[in-house]
Amino acid sequence: SHNVSGAGSDALAKVRLHKGLVRTRGVKMSELSPDELRRRRLARLSGQTASPKQEEKRQDTEEMSQSESKSSEETEMASISESMEVTMDTTEVGSQESVQSLESTDLSGSQRAEDEKKVVNHTNVIMTCLSRLLSIDIKAHSPSPEVTCLLSLTEVTQGESDIGVDDVVGQVMMERLVALETPDLMIRYLVESYERSCVEERKRSLSVEQRDCVQVVRVLCISHTTLVLQQAFSPCEGESPLLRYLLSTQATTLSTNFLVDLMAECSGLSDCLHQVFGSIADGLVNRLKNASLVDEQFRQPLVVLAQLAEIKIGSSRPFCQVLVKHKSFIPLDGSTMSQARQVQQNSILGPMMALTAFPDESPAVVEHFFSGDITPETVGLSHTSLQNSLHFIRSQAYSVVHSLLLEKQTRSIVMDFLQTVVNSNRQRAHMTYRMKDVSDDGFIVNFLSVMQQLAVRVKVNQVDPLYLHHPKCRLDVSQESRLHSSASSKELHEWKSFLCEQNKFQDIKFSTECFYMTMAAHHVGLMPAVKFYESRVKKIKQLAHFIGEMENAENADPQHQLMINNHKTRLKSLTANRLCMEASLLDKTFLSSCLQFYSSASQWMVAIISTSPHSLSLPENVSMEFAALPDYFVEDIADFLIFVLQHIPGVLDELYVRDIVNLLVLLVSCTDKFITNPYLTAKLIEVMYGVTPVVHMHPKANKVMDMVLSHPVGAKHLAPSLMKFFADVETTGASSEFFDKFSIRYHIAVVFKQLWRSPMHHDSVVQLSSDLSVGSTFIRFINMLMNDTTYLLDESLDCLKSIRDTQDAMASQDSWQEQPQELRDTRQRQLVMDERKCRSYLTLAMATLDMMHYLSQSLPDPFCRPELIDRLAVMLNFNLTQLCGPKCRNLKVHNPESYNFKPRRLLDRLVDIYLHLDSNKFVAAVAKDDRSYRMELFENAIRQLTKANIKPEVEIKRLRDFSARVEQQHIKNCHAAIALDDIPDEFKDPLMDTLMTDPVLLPSGVVMDHAVITRHLLNSNTDPFNRQALSVDMLVPEPELKQRIEQWLKEKTDTKQ
């Protein structure tokens, strides 16, 4: 009964050799004395040590229990206590068949009978326990080979056999496995036997002998499972037989103890470990490749992967070693597929991160969740379901990656994998890229979430600011633009050389690499996905508007209605796709994680900028560590905040926003020191614009604005810096700079108005206005403010006239229909363009005019500077003519509010500015304007103010007095002009052709009037005659010429008198 032929015999030999079950033979039973035989029997029955063999078995059992307990504590894994209890009928075997006759001894007959009874009871207990564990019916009429093997246990219990219980159990298992034939049935039998042993082991009533038997069964189940998975019995075709139990959500699922024991069994032999668990990993990854968020089939493979990766045997995680040594951990098969796509589709970790709700990658998700009637309730439920699934996927993916990083032997190659994902997707950050060359949005967003979870515990004070320049840096930022121009290629190369010579580089730590990789993952992952989503939203709005226009058109052609229906179908599909994307991108949990990381990054950058670690103080010059940072470190934070403010401002947690506000205020307050790119500064200002109460009424957005207003650095520097940037943005170097400056200045105007209402910021502006030297910040600011107001009002009013003409033409149906269809279509398209342009320009114009209104009221002196006052008077007179002149009716259009045209408010602001600047200088400047000034102009304005009740009588009286003084000055100017009609050419300004009062010599050799050239320099620091650089201090006074001009003027005056 002990002989097993063929594969079974070889397998049993492997088990014995592998587990050390083949023990050294002892002395023969016949050679033992009767007293020794009796002592061994009684000791075995009483649980004491009867022989070295029994003692060794007990010690092995105790050591195994301690090892399992220690392993469980170290990994802190919850045990999956799912077991099966198999009930079987067992009966005690006759004592006379199981007990052999005793050797002759000196015992009395009663003692002999008692010993025989104990032996019988002991044998029955052991056989009953084993038959239950091994699922063997020993009452069968035709005993099977395993029953025969089990019955031989009688000899072992009586001490008449030189083999142990483990040998018998091994033979029983072998017979049973050979009879089952297929690996699936073998694994099922072994798993069920193992689970029965676990259930049995938890019983407190077990004797020492029974507990020993349970341990033997448990150990041999694991050993035989290893042999089956190594194909020692028969080949395993397809997936690993263990997968059905690993992926089962029913009672047949594997317990954690089984996996721990199996991994411990295999961990000693590398080939065995990779053969057994490598096939399991392949099976799990294949399941994930075919999974979708539509069903729940992705959950169990992720759970199993995370569970296996967490199992720790001793000080190592064997399954982590299996994963990283897999040929597909970082796939580089040389195919035509891009590396980013290979990693996503063919790597071990790629499929788990490729589970996504993005429509282009998972069309089944769109069909399942958003194909029916779309209502707010159904959308909310669908989003909740999808977001819960995504949270689960990302948490399990993080668990796997985290376990891989905890294992010292696998950490380096895992960092290589993370590096590969980031670097292979650098093109995603470009303006345009080919989708097949990069990873999908869903994959890269899930990857970003994993990186965020890894970076949660990173302490920013441990992040090395020199890492990006380290020789062993994993990230490639060589093509990225830097925050400041001082970090040009040449300076950067010299600085790196200096760092190397001085040995400034530190040893690279995980916290440093994790921080920088997470920042790069946001750059290549989140922001491109956000931009694609916003482009999709824009496309939906345009299509909806186009459908509305088609429906409003009177066209009875059936093809026309068919086109409308087709567009509506397309619109419905795009809307479903948008909703699907929002499940991922507008997830509050995910966006809060982004905000938390950006808060840490802001805190880190502020520490680099500030000269004191405990206070927000500004350095004189920017450090190279900050200047050399890629500009996306700041730009991505701004883009993220703009996106959140537009779509989901509720995630702006004050705890995390405060650090970002610190960075925002510091950079804008000293933008010329820290940032070279004006568009990056403009984006930071746009963030401030987005949190003003005028734009956003959400409480959390307003809280951010309160933080900006109360910031200690901003109170002194923010408003002056905004005024300086308002003037500097006149030239940005881009081809679109002329139109860009208007939107940038509009944002500044809205923010500045908010600052003006704060006493601290108001005082800083007043202090700045005290410097009225030529070219000062305040004077340049006022000049640009006047320029924009002039241009924007002029363009807006011209657009209104064009709109009025088209509306009048369309109002006459007969004459309109007589025009050719092509001409009508052209005029309608032009009308749409004029309306859009007028709406935009009037919005910008009113913002700049409001700034001029409240600044002229509190600070009138700067507006009366010689280089500004004449131009300001001309601008006011011209626009007053447009509103109150003889052609003012050309501005009357249908529904003027839709264009933001408010003529009453506009007239009120213009009149206020006249009154704010009322002085002799300003009266002279207004009267000097020969182009627009007429006495009738002010009379018409007073008439309209009175009729529309725009102004109180007191202010109307002030305006009458002002206009009377202007008229008197205008008469004087006319008389003086007659006397000065023959000005010598050498006394005339070459640009304005007017009499010079303060001539100066330019480096080009041209003499100009000082007021004219300084006015020019406010707009452009160049010589108007040769375009060379020019500044005020380069102007040379001409006192001799000035004296001659004054003498000539005196002679003319005397002659007239």
Q: Collect all residues with Cβ–Cβ distance below 8 Å to 199 and sequence separation of at least 6.
A: 83, 84, 85
Mean pLDDT of 662-685: 91
Q: What is the pLDDT of residues 201-219, one digit of tens each?
A: 888 777 787 788 888 888 8
Question: How far apart are the C-alpha atoms of 896 and 1033, rounded to whole Å?
Answer: 49
- The residue that leads in pLDDT, 203 or 425, is 425
pLDDT for residue 1049? 82
CB 164 within 8 A of CB 26: no
Q: Collect all residues with Cβ–Cβ distance below 8 Å to 572 and sequence separation of at least 6.
A: none
pLDDT for residue 32? 45
Two tokens, residue 318: 């064997």
Question: How far apart are the C-alpha atoms of 490 and 843, rounded to whole Å?
Answer: 45
Two tokens, residue 49: 């040590």
Q: How many CB atoms lie within 10 A of CB 1000?
A: 22
pLDDT above 80 (res 878): yes
Q: What is the pLDDT of residues 798-827, one digit of tens each?
A: 999 999 999 888 888 888 888 888 888 888
CB 277 within 8 A of CB 263: yes
Q: Map tokens 């002592």 to a residue.
A: 39
DSSP-assigned letters across all residues of 430-448: SSS--GGGS--HHHHHHHH
The distance from CA 543 to its chain's CA centroid, rounded to whole angstroms, is 29
Amino acid at 258: F
- The residue that leads in pLDDT, 914 or 237, is 914
HSE-CB for 946 with a 13 A CA cutoff: 12
- The residue that leads in pLDDT, 173 or 101, is 173
Question: How far apart are the C-alpha atoms of 972 and 698, rounded to whole Å?
Answer: 58
CB 629 within 8 A of CB 683: no
Closest residue by Cα to residue 140 from 151, 124, 154, 152: 151
Amino acid at 362: S
Q: What is the pLDDT of residues 382-420, one digit of tens each?
A: 999 999 999 999 999 999 999 999 988 999 999 999 999
DSSP-assigned letters across all residues of 305-361: HHHHHH--BTTB-HHHHHHHTSTTSS-----SS-HHHHHHHHSSSHHHH-----TTT
State what percent of residues in the chain have pLDDT above 90. 45
Find which of 14-23, 236-245, 300-309, 332-341 is predicted with most confidence, using mean pLDDT. 300-309
DSSP-assigned letters across all residues of 54-123: HHHHHHHHHHHHHHHHHHHHHHTPPP------------PPPHHHH-PPPPP-S--HHHHHHHHHHHHHHH
Amino acid at 672: D
Query: Which residues, in sequence order, are bridge partners of residue 482?
Result: 630
- The residue that leads in pLDDT, 1003 or 4, is 1003
pLDDT for residue 130? 75
CB 100 within 8 A of CB 55: no
Question: How far apart are the C-alpha atoms of 220 and 176, rounded to whole Å?
Answer: 13
Confidence at 41, pLDDT banded by 50, 70, 90: very low
What integer best gives the mean pLDDT of the chain? 83
pLDDT above 60 (res 78): no
Mean pLDDT of 846-859: 94
Least confident residue range of 57-71, 590-604, 651-665, 778-792: 57-71
Q: Collect all residues with Cβ–Cβ distance below 8 Å to 1040 and sequence separation of at least 6.
A: none
Q: What is the pLDDT of residues 452-490, one digit of tens each?
A: 999 999 999 999 999 999 989 999 888 899 998 888 888
pLDDT for residue 352? 93
What pTM, to 2 d.p., does this model score?
A: 0.82
Q: Collect all residues with Cβ–Cβ distance below 8 Å to 13 and sequence separation of at least 6.
A: none
Alpha helix (H) residue ranges in 729-820: 737-756, 759-769, 777-811, 813-818
Mean pLDDT of 41-65: 44
Mean pLDDT of 892-910: 90
CB 1038 within 8 A of CB 1006: no
3-class secondary-structure state, position 630: strand
- 958 burial class (0-12, 13-18, 19+ CB within 10 angstroms)? middle
